[in-house]
Amino acid sequence: MSSVSQCHALTKQLKNLFEGTDERDSQIESIGALLEKREQLLPTIAPPFSPEEQSMGEEMIYWNKEIDQKLERLKIAIKRDMNNVNKTKTTVQKYTNPYESVQTDGMFYDKRN
């Protein structure tokens, strides 16, 4: 199997991985593993290419655009979840200890006694 066809197969697996409904943590691990394998394989790809390999390369370029968009969406979803967790933490903390964040600046003491 040539380097181009191996890279094509890895890219196809990566593209199909986003279409599954796996748990996000396992999906991220699988994505990382596939990207690592593909990264190691990319330097071994060298011309001249056959017409079949050229068509596979064009298909991989198209798939890479889709993969990049899906990775960006995944990154945004993770950021959103992290922000929600942080908001929840602060809300719970304020609920359990409501006087923790009370500002003491500007207190007024009446000394008319």
Question: Are 78 and 27 a contacting pair, CB within 8 Å?
Answer: no
In this prediction the pTM is: 0.75
| Each residue's pLDDT tens digit, 48-78 | 889 999 999 999 999 999 999 999 999 999 9
Q: How far apart are CA 67 and CA 73, in angstroms?
A: 10
Q: How far apart are CA 4 and CA 94, in angstroms?
A: 56
- Residue 36 is encoded by which pair of tokens? 């690592």
31 — phi, psi (to 5°)?
A: -60, -45
